[in-house]
Structure 1
Amino acid sequence: MEQPLHDEYAAQSTKQQHRQLTAHQETEVHFQKCYGVMGELFEAHNYLRDLVPATGFKFLDLGCAPGGFSSYLLEDPRCHLGFGVTLPSTLGGFPMRLRSPNFLLQQGDLFELGPADLVAKEVHICICDAQYMRNEVAWDERYTGVRCRSKQHGVWALLLKQFWLGLSRLAAGGMLIFRFGWRDGPPEDLATVWYKKCTLRLFSLLQDLFTQVKDVKSDYFNALQSSFYVCCSGFDRRRFEDREVAKLFGNTFNYLVTTRISDANQLEVLQQVDSIRSAEVDEQISQMLDRIEKLRLIHEQSRRWHQKCESSRMGYGGFETPKQAEAVERPKEPKDRTRQIVAELLKKNAAKTR
């Protein structure tokens, strides 16, 4: 009678160990990915030589765990201090790998924090790359915070909340770095139309608040996905305050997480930005999105080509077709390798003495 209970306990223990191993692997992969992406962003911007104060910089990393972005920045000799905010691992967040005396970690749910709750003060670089944890299978069951009506609206709510928090601490002339997940669906799809409208409004606002808005599509990480990174430099702090953009972000966030309507595509996000939009800027944004999609397709085609070549080599002994494999006569291994080596050495010595 005790055997089934023992088997059940052993199965649960094995399952728990497997999940812990999977979570550890996910954490390591995510850390290395973020570290590598930050290196690409620095390279694309001439290592921030003209974008950070000569006297050094401070940064704020929202959704910082496991610490890849922050680790890269802290290794820069110009970095004085870093701040990070992350969801505790006990509540579903990634474990934090980074430990540094120059890094102050604040644990909390970004959905529940306000600007006044941040430990960070004025910073020169703000990173917004938090993940909507409802999408993460390995962590989701431990997350008990704010829930949105759908994944799509949760992602937008989290992005705008990060802007609300981060820009409230960004110094004049500062830099904003964030990851944006572009949805490139059929043009007649209502969800795609809604997403495109929100995207045009968001990037129009960023174009208005920053001197430069530059997209960076990684060649190594998420190359097959439609997401990409955006670096906004030259923050106009006065314009941000005069136009009450923090209030706009806050109101839009609250609207997304509290409004209940039958058709989610009718939600109005950043509608007030329409007053500063222009056809020229909309066209620039559309061209950027098209360029990102073309890069994704190029990476996808390249990956398929390499996989096809690899499959061919595996299937025909290193050749793309069976005929090629049969046409080439492979050299036979000598029965006595030692004799062959000695013979070659004697032959070389004889040639030298001539």
Structure 2
Amino acid sequence: MSTDFRSLLINSGCSDLDRLTQLKRKGQRTPAIQQYFRTQREVADNADMDLSERWLKKMKKIMGQIDDHVQWCVPFSGRPFRFLDLGCCPGGFSTYILKKNKQSTGVGISLDPADGGHPYLIEQSLRDRHTIIFADLTLFQLGPQMMSSPFFNFRTLPEDLTTRQFDLALLDAHHLRTQPGSSSDLLAISQIVVALSSIKFGATVVMKLAHPESWYTVRMLFFLDVLSSSLTVHKPYAMHRVQGTFYAIAKGVGGKSEKQRFLSHNFLPEFQKLWVELRSANGVGRSLVPKDLNFIISDEQVEGYALRLAELCGPVWKLQSAALEKLYTEQGI
């Protein structure tokens, strides 16, 4: 589907996607570019405290850009505001929110540093309004029924995360490259189940995604579009310019009665069942395939979303293309 859908988008006028596709192919054939990205991954996988502190500052800036872009997903002080930050550490997103809104309180969930997660670097003066939970998101009980396994020690989702008290949910966790590839899919679905269980109806959801033309991201954007009153995207220049990653910002998720029903009675139960399926296979798990998300939109229906996708994500392809061209020039290519 991915190649055919990409061709459909390009043939319908997505010139920036066409340009990006050509640039990626050029990069795949160029050893210097491949080495550049390998070095970037190695640095990220072995981050020291100094790099973690720089990430916090950059992520704080990115959250400010996201907030400005949608005017606003974080209100100024004046009323209580509750947020959930998945993949919280080192804490840049939470830091921005806590500093902007002095009445805000938040919960962050992040992998324990002892298990390979980032350090918790939110400054002491903000921590009385912020709770950090060190946990593997994929090991919460996220199915429709309690699950037992000889391979894993599952834990119950904290009560704070089951009472629909959050005005904003940030889905920004990423899996470790040292883990199996299938764990990336499991983490993505785990984040969605936690967020859909935790947010108020009408909340804002900020979700990190990658490659808008991919079968998974098309379905996630459609899912957010259906549930929200408005959907936009933002690709930060500072950390994501040459990567395929970007953020989708959905406001008013489950706000209207019919969207509330879709969230509670359709999407959440289906994602919970999918979490169980991905957790199966004798503890090994499996990767997502397109038909897993047919409850959102099927392959046959995706073509009808092409124009909307191009409208949403044209700027994402344009920025990445320009950044790759600049990188290639700097590398003498």
TM-score (norm: length of structure 1): 0.65
What CA RMSD, in Å, does the superposition of the two structures yield over aligned residues? Answer: 3.3
Please say if 1:102 is aligned against 2:129. yes
Offset, 1:88? 1.1
State the partner residue of 1:251: 273
Could you say if the C-alpha distance between residues 202 and 78 of structure 1 is closer, same or farther in structure 2, counting changes exceeding 3 Å?
same
Could you say if the C-alpha distance between residues 235 and 53 of structure 1 is closer, same or farther in structure 2, counting changes exceeding 3 Å?
farther
Secondary structure (helix, strand or coil) at the match of 1:269 reads helix
Between the aligned partners of 1:248 and 1:26, the Cα distance in structure 2 is: 39
Partners of 1:175 and 1:231 within 8 A in 2 = yes
Offset, 1:47? 3.5
> What percentage of residue pairs aligned between the two structures are identical?
19
State the partner residue of 1:42: 67
Please say if 1:162 is aligned against 2:191. yes
Secondary structure (helix, strand or coil) at the match of 1:273 reads coil
Offset, 1:297? 0.8
Pairing 1:195-214 to 2, within 5 Å after superposition: 196-214=214-232
Letter in 1 for 2:295: Q
State the partner residue of 1:344: none
Offset, 1:202? 2.1
Is 218-227 or 235-244 further displaced after alignment?
235-244
Between the aligned partners of 2:45 and 2:306, the Cα distance in structure 1 is: 46
Secondary structure (helix, strand or coil) at the match of 2:241 reads coil
Secondary structure (helix, strand or coil) at the match of 2:292 reads coil
Letter in 2 for 1:246: L
State the partner residue of 2:21: none
Between the aligned partners of 1:68 and 1:265, the Cα distance in structure 2 is: 30
State the partner residue of 1:114: 141
Offset, 1:245? 1.5
Letter in 1 for 2:55: H
Secondary structure (helix, strand or coil) at the match of 1:174 reads strand
State the partner residue of 2:202: 173
Secondary structure (helix, strand or coil) at the match of 2:238 reads coil
Between the aligned partners of 1:208 and 1:296, the Cα distance in structure 2 is: 27
Partners of 1:35 and 1:69 within 8 A in 2 = yes
Between the aligned partners of 1:32 and 1:109, the Cα distance in structure 2 is: 24
Secondary structure (helix, strand or coil) at the match of 2:100 reads coil
Whose radius of gyration is greater, 1 or 2? Answer: 1
Letter in 2 for 1:181: A
Offset, 1:23? 2.4
State the partner residue of 1:292: 316
Pairing 1:1-354 to 2, within 5 Å after superposition: 22-48=47-73, 55-77=79-101, 79-98=103-122, 99=124, 100-114=127-141, 117-118=157-158, 119-120=160-161, 121=163, 122-133=165-176, 135=177, 140=178, 148=180, 150=181, 153-182=182-211, 196-236=214-254, 238-259=260-281, 268-274=291-297, 279-305=303-329
Could you say if the C-alpha distance between residues 307 and 278 of structure 1 is closer, same or farther in structure 2, counting changes exceeding 3 Å?
closer
Offset, 1:162? 0.5
State the partner residue of 1:190: none
Offset, 1:22? 4.4
Between the aligned partners of 2:266 and 2:67, the Cα distance in structure 1 is: 31
Offset, 1:108? 1.1
Could you say if the C-alpha distance between residues 247 and 264 of structure 1 is closer, same or farther in structure 2, counting changes exceeding 3 Å?
closer
Letter in 1 for 2:265: R
Secondary structure (helix, strand or coil) at the match of 1:168 reads helix
Letter in 2 for 1:205: F
State the partner residue of 1:11: none
Uncovered stretches (5+) of structure 2, i.e. residues with no partner: 1-42, 143-155
Offset, 1:217? 0.9
Letter in 1 for 2:99: E
Secondary structure (helix, strand or coil) at the match of 2:140 reads coil
Letter in 1 for 2:128: P
Partners of 2:228 and 2:251 within 8 A in 1 = yes
Q: Which stretches of structure 1, 4 residues or longer, exceed 6 Å deviation after superposition? A: 18-21
Offset, 1:107? 1.6
CA offsets 1:274-307 (integer angstroms, 9 cap, x no match): 2795654343124544542222011222344567
Letter in 1 for 2:48: A
CA offsets 1:311-345 (integer angstroms, 9 cap, x no match): xxxxxxxxxxxxxxxxxxxxxxxxxxxxxxxxxxx
Letter in 1 for 2:269: K
Secondary structure (helix, strand or coil) at the match of 1:83 reads strand
Between the aligned partners of 1:285 and 1:79, the Cα distance in structure 2 is: 36
CA offsets 1:101-138 (integer angstroms, 9 cap, x no match): 000111211010136513344110100101102x1xxx
Between the aligned partners of 1:267 and 1:104, the Cα distance in structure 2 is: 36
Between the aligned partners of 2:292 and 2:51, the Cα distance in structure 1 is: 33
Letter in 2 for 1:57: F
Partners of 1:212 and 1:233 within 8 A in 2 = yes
Letter in 2 for 1:272: F
Offset, 1:20? 12
